[in-house]
Structure formats: structure tokens, C-alpha cells
Structure 1
């Protein structure tokens, strides 16, 4: 009898395990936490001279499309040429907004503030993307009379067909830090983002003309290359402290060129044969991560699997092994991904293989798509694939626990109420002692009445919202459900849950 009871118990446990496996989604296939970002560039002129209301409609349409595709963070370019797509007393309005630098939009509006509001309304983060050194993308571009170039021409250098701040000058770093401090102080951004433009991409046969600043400030360095890297290191470090002092919850991230160093230059480098961050752009990205000066890294791995000089698979593996204990996400090129077939299946593009690679490394916490318009256009049915498979369920952004790991308190007074708009699940914001602990978003989960509550399963997330209520899908009031609400702070730490049974 004892053996029979043991067998029955074992069988029940087995059935329970099978049932749980059938009702819980695969965490490796559908992670609850993943950085799912996209870049929206302005330097390409897509908004240049666009009337205010048309640009607002375009951005809203784009954000709606991105939200449907599971995007949870937007990196929006606001400073392409030492100018501003926002109200600034330091730099002029951007030509990429109004068509003429220094000319304010009419009717007047603030694109950065608009994007912050619209992203937060959708439960997304907004990272302000600034280009630190670039001043002119073309020498023919006219600068506004009050542009810093016209006030301090001695701070700038011309290289090829472009103009840049001289990275070797303390005045350049000071001005860039002032601009970033101004953005962080006045706007509720979730992050400050810098892309791959540090020292300019080299022009064959032309050296960057910084001999004067090297003669003045480079005496303690063995060579100009070390001095140039030092200059960029100083900027990154100073930006880190500038942001931390202003608002410690604002993240600072970079998206460097996809190759750090080739093995031919450094035995620790990748098996690639391309331009190098360290040697050509003077960007020592690994040092920044190791020192904690950056909060996340998104290397732009825009090549295909099988590229002869910069193989995607090789580079993803290399960066995964060199994250330096900082959040690592992969910069994906939509155009490149859909243009190349899977090496093992010529009938499909490389998205499935790339996503599988990305998710196979524990040190990689997500990706960023280049670029938003391509995603919205659904090139190669890329957006469809995200919706139907890779972003099928919502995902929370990974916790940046090295900034803060204290979860907010749980929500209060959770209850369903009838209102003019329908049946609403309401709650009260949790109390908090300091800004870092304040709830800025809420997660709403739904479970069947008899179903086990498993908050690690993202298929039960029905909303990520900044507002303390959720409209319930009421039908006839005969079916029981259990709704669970948690609070998220600025670092996406999740509170303990509160549950309410509801008949819908």
C-alpha cells in the first residue's frame, strides 16, 4: 500500500509539472526582461521643415507602431550638429527641425518634451541622443549667428567636409557637459545616449588636424593616439559624473562601432579585419565599461552572419565575452538582416538566427533596432516577426541594479470601480522616501481564477502603464479573473504584488 501511494503521489507531481510546463511560456524564448529599443534619427532630414502638426502626427504614428512591435525604449536624436531639437539657451534650434538653424518652429513646440510625454504614456523609456563633437555634417551648412562656433572658432577643427569640436581642448569638454547637464536637469529623460562618432572616421591620406592642441596638452603622452584616447576618456568620465550629480537615475549609454580591435592589432581582439574603435576612432569602450563610466553598451553590429571581414556571429560572441559587467545590448541593422539569407536555410532571412544568437548569451540583455522607419515600414516583414514571435509578449527593461536595486513599495487600495468610461481597476501610488524609489510605471497581469500566479511569465502582462488605473474588458460579469498589479521604479525594480479577484 505504501508503494502504491508513493507511485500515485509521483504521478500527480508529474502531471502537475507537465501542466505547468504547458501553461507557462518558455523564458528563453519569451524573456520577461529584455531591452527592446529603436533609434529615431533626425540627421537624415526626415523631419526637416515638416510642419509642427504633421511632425507630431508622424511621431505618434511611429510610436504606436513601435509599441505594437514590443519596443520599450526609444533613442531619439536631439543634437546632431551642436544644435537642438528642444528649447535651449546654449545652442540654436536645429536645421533638421525647421530647415534653417536658429529658426524656432512655428507654432512653437518642443520635440524632446513631446517625445518624453508620448513615450512615457506608452510605458516606454526615452533616451536623448546627442552627438558630442560634430558641428557641421557639410561645410556648406550655415550656422546660426549665436552658434558656439561663431562665438569661439578657436575650439573647432575642419576635417574633410565637416567641422568638429577639438576633443583635445578642455573648453570643448566643458561645453558638451554643460549641454548634457542642461538636458538632464530640465527634462525627464531616462537616458543620455552617444553613438559611434567620437574622433571622426578617418579619411585616407589625411590626419585629423589637432597638432596645436597636441603640442599644448599632449606632452605627457608617448604618442598622439594615446593622447586622443585620453581626451575621449576624459569626456566620457566627465559626462558620467555630470549626469550622476544631476539625476542619478538617468542612464548613460553608448553605441560604438561594432569592432573594438582586430586580433591583428591585439591578441584579445576579435577575428575581424575592419576599422577599429580603439585605434581609429580613439574610443576605448571596454575601459569605459570597466570603470563604470557608462551604464550600457550597444555595439553596432550591422553586418551579416558570414561577412568575410566582420562576421556578425563572431562579433556577438566577442562582445558577449567582453561586457565588463555592464549591460550589453546588440545594435541590429534591419536592412542588412533582411537582405541576407540564413546560412543554413536560404528561404528565410537572418533574423531568426541573429535573435537566437543574441539570446544564447546571458551577458546580452536585448537589442536596439536601426532604424525606426524601417521597422514601421515592416521591411522584409521584420515588424511582423517581432509581433508574432520575438516580441510576442511585453517585456520589462532589465534592472540596472548597480545604480539602484531597492524595489518600490507595493501599490495600495487596489479595487475595481464603475466609472463613466467603464469598469476600471484603480489603485493608489505607493509611498516613497526618495525619487529613486518612486513608482513611475505599473505592471498589470491577468490570470484565470484557478490558475497559479506566476509573475515570471510575460504572457500574463496586459499593460505597462504610468497611470494608476486600467480599463477592464468587461463583458457580462460571469467569468472570474485575478488581476495582479506591481509597481516599477526608475530602474525597473519591481515591487511586491497586490491581487484582486474580478468578475468580467
Structure 2
């Protein structure tokens, strides 16, 4: 899949992530490292595609109120399904779904490229706020090189392709930035840094569009750039690989310098190289990101330039050319300590093809990912495939796989210092079936941080406290300013105990607060 309307086409082509301080008891501290009863740390993402209005908004030109309501409905649905991350497409074709941009507004937002929402609002800012309210990360998804989805598109006079036509070439019916030009790479980095610096995003996310895959044997029209800039390379293929490497490396350093907590991830086509192309490639027989798109994704992991890899494994188990289980194992063996989130094909679940005829295919893939200790979660294409409950998969998430909430996995190479514990947790019965909790912000940790948010746990009276059990989580909050919680789900004649922990921006979790008890009456 490529996250566009060409998903199925590309699939066929390529296969022909000084207050009171309480000291917890030893028994509670032991629970922090005890085996998990349920999946507490897991990346659960979904792509929200805006190109040609695949997922949001439902059509271009809706009123601002209608767009906002659709976003709220979408996020509410994914929250109910247990997801904790959204990959929101903010730059589909050198255009913008955000206001603080050097590029023009997207036509897929307002109907006309360059026209701002009226009444004005900033869609990215709105989506971030609403996602964080629901305990969900928001990763800004960029298409780095695509400038026009179709050569017939009406392009605004202020579009970068009109201002700098020498930066582009036309290929396979699209207008694309020329990755071999240093000015292009510098421009793309600055476009992305605009978002990193001006918005409270959790991550920067690229999909699989780098160099275009060759079509019909036609050469990519970048010979002039190669003559000008490729003299130090053995051949044009080596030069193209280096051009993409340079963009990824530069962007990685730039993001970390601007905001150290912002994650950087790539979602490549599912095959790096086949074993027939490289002795360390996968036992597959399909197109590869390295050969067709000049994207050496394995190298980016080896060098530590990216924080997560999110390969699009859109094939079923035992596929004859690209089996899911083979690629899951290959990527897990080549993650080099970075996070591995598997891209899964929710959009394919209704296809009458081998593997996907079995409606247990996707749930079985989730379980296989969980059984691999070097994989940390899933991302689904796309939002509408989940909210439309194709093959009942949304039901499977809500009632089984993602029944309980989960924190995103930690990235200890970015931050390994946990917050201090919240203090002075108190609780009282506000009504016969309602407990009111309050607590105080923790002291600063060694890195100067207090808390980005909180996790509230509830246990039955006398029950062993196990903070690894996600079924005991009542709420995950990404708001440090809210230090209270109202639990209105108590049963009569039952005793409860509560504990609160603090999380930082990268979801490191503190030791628990003091425990408080509440007893209801018959």
C-alpha cells in the first residue's frame, strides 16, 4: 500500500512506534517489573489520510464547523477502539493543512488551493488539541517529494512549483521535487521544521514516497542534476540513494535540535531488499524500497537516524511472494534497537483473496506482532477502514485486542529519566457511586521535568497492586493541569484502592503515588 488512492495499484506493482514524597512499598515497586497481565505498552496508530479526502474531511469545502465535528467524531471513534496515536496527513502535495506554513492551503481542505478555512481555524492545531484530550499522540505525516497529485491539477500562483519550477520534474503523471538538488532538500527540511517549531506534535512521519518507482521503463528525468552534483559517485543509483540518505540524516539532526522529544519515523514499502538482491535481504520476491525508491531504510535504523520504522506489511500469512510472518521476522531482526510498528492493511479485509478471505487474518497478525519481543505495535491504513468496521475489525479492537488502554512504548535513547511520583493523593465519596480523587504535581525529576500527564489506576480492596495490568487503568491523561479525577462507576458495598502515576512527554512513567482507599455502602 501507498497511502493514497493508488494503494491497490502499488500493491500489485510491487509484488508481480518541598511536598510530601511517598516511598512505595517493596511489594508495589516489584509490580513495576512484574510480567504484564495485559498489553500495557503498545503503539496503536492509524493513518488519517487527507489526500483526495480519503479519510478527512469527507469532502473539500465543508464549513469549518463541519470539518471540526468530523475530526471530533473520528477521534472519538478511535479512542473507543483503544488507539493511542494518529498519523495525520498535513502535507499531501507541497500544500498545507495548517496555518503556520510557507506553503499554500490544500485544495482538499477548502476546495481551492490557497484558500484558508472560513471562519478561520488551524486544522493541525485543532487535531493536536483534540487528540491530546483523548490521550492520543499526533504525528504529523508529510509527503516529502510530491508536489502535484496530477499534472492536470490547478496550481495556485504561490505554490512552490510555480515559484521554483527548476526544482521539479514530471514523472508518471505527477509533479515531483527533484531529490538531487541541495536547494530542494534544504527547503523540505525547513517546511517540516516550521511544524516542529510551531506545533505541539509528538512526531514527524514520512510514508513511502521517495524517488518514484520506474514506470514503463521510462528513465527518471534527473540526468542534469546528476551531472551537476553526482561527480563523486560511481553511478546514478548510488547518488540517488545518497540524496535520500542526506535528507533523512539532516532532518533527523534538525528535529532533535529543535525539540528533543519529537519522534521521527518512516513508513516504507514492506520489503527493503529481497534475498536475491542482497544476501541480508528477506526471503521474498517483490519490489523493494531500496531498489525502486532509493530508500535505504535499514541503514537509517543502523545509523540511529530514525526513532521508529513502520513498514507496510499489507500481505497475509503464507503469501507466496511476500509472507507477513517472514517480513515481520525480518524487520524485527533489523530494527537495531529502534521501535518497529507494523503497518497493517485494514483496507484489504473485505477482499476476496487468499488470506483476507479469513476474517481472523488481521487479529491474528496483531497477536503475531505481540508475540514478537522486538515489535512494539501496529498502524492501520486507513481511518475510514476502521470506522466503517470492515470485516468487523473495529469490533475486534474494542471487544478484545484493544479492550484496555495502553501507553505508547518508551524511547529510552531519547529520554530515560522517569518523572517523580505525584504526591498527596486523596479520595472521598462524592456520591454513593462516585469517588473524587485529587493529587499534587510531582517534584522535578533530574532532567528538570515534572509531569506531562497522569495515569489513574483502580484496584479492588485487598487486590494485589500490579501496575503492569492495563485492565486496572481508568484513564491516561496528557494534561498536567488537570490533577483530579471523578470515578462514577463504583458498585455498592465494594472497597476500592486508587494509585496515580506521572508520565513525561516521552511516556516514561513514575513510581506510584500513595495508595488511597474508598468504601461504598449498600
Compute the TM-score of the two structures, normalised by the length of structure 2.
0.87
User: Hey, what does 1:137 align to over in structure 2?
Assistant: 149
Corresponding residue number in structure 1 for 2:498 = 483
Distance 1:296 1:436 in 2: 26
2:280 is the alignment partner of 1:278: no
SS at match of 2:496: strand
Q: CA deviation at 1:424?
A: 2.5
> Residues 169 and 348 (structure 1 numbering): CA distance in 2 closer, same or farther, change over 3 Å?
closer
Q: Which runs of 5+ in 1 are unaligned?
A: 1-24
Name the CA distance, whole Å, in 1 between partners of 2:490 and 2:471: 21
Deviation of 1:117 (Å): 0.4
Deviation of 1:346 (Å): 7.3
How far does the alpha carbon of each residue in 1:171-201 deviate from its partner, in whole angstroms, 9 at most, with x for none?
A: 1111111111110111000000000001112
Structure 2 counterpart of 1:363: 374
Pair 419,449 (structure 1): closer, same or farther in 2 beyond 3 Å: closer
**Secondary structure of residue in 1 paired with 2:475:** strand
Partner of residue 27, structure 2: none
Q: Which residue of 2 aligns with 1:378?
A: 389
Mark the CA change 1:45 to 1:347 in structure 2 (over 3 Å): closer, same or farther: closer
Offset, 1:327:
0.5
Which sections of structure 2, spanning at least 5 residues, go unmatched? 1-33
CA contact (8 A) 1:338 1:351 kept: no
Is the CA contact 2:417–2:447 (under 8 Å) kept in the aligned structure 1?
Answer: no
When structure 1 is superposed on structure 2, of 421-430 and 288-297 the one drifting more is 421-430
Matches within 5 A, 1:66-465: 66-339=78-351, 348-416=359-427, 423-432=435-444, 437-465=449-477
Matched with 1:503 is 519
Worse overlay, 428-437 or 378-387:
428-437
Deviation track 1:55-94 (CA, whole Å, cap 9, x = no partner) reads: 1111111111101111000110000011110003410111
Asked whether the equivalents of residues 42 and 407 of structure 2 are also in contact (C-alpha less than 8 Å), the reply is yes
Rounded Cα–Cα distance in structure 2 between residues aligned with 1:363 and 1:435: 28
CA contact (8 A) 1:445 1:483 kept: yes
- Residue 123 of structure 1 contacts residue 441 of structure 1 at CA under 8 Å; is this kept in 2? no
**Structure 2 residue 52 is matched with structure 1 residue 44:** yes
Helix, strand or coil for the counterpart of 1:67? helix
Rounded to whole Å, the distance in 2 between the matches of 1:346 and 1:113 is 40
**Correspondence for 1:31:** 39
Aligned mates of 2:220, 2:172 — CA distance in 1: 9
Does the residue aligned with 2:465 lie in a helix, a strand or coil? coil
Q: Which has the higher contact order (CA 8 A, sep 6+)?
A: 2
Q: What SS class does the counterpart of residue 476 from structure 2 fall into? A: strand
Q: Provide the C-alpha distance between the structure 2 equivalents of 1:53 and 1:434, rounded to a whole number of angstroms.
A: 44
User: Deviation per CA, 1:399-434, whole angstroms, max 9, x where unpaired?
Assistant: 000000100111122223677997521222223368
Asked whether the equivalents of residues 428 and 518 of structure 2 are also in contact (C-alpha less than 8 Å), the reply is: no
SS of the aligned residue for 1:501 comes to strand
State the SS of the aligned residue for 1:120: helix
With over 3 angstroms needed to count, the CA separation of the structure-2 counterparts of 1:347 and 1:252, relative to structure 1, is closer
Match of 2:484 among 428, 444, 469: 469
Change (3 A) 1:487 1:338: farther
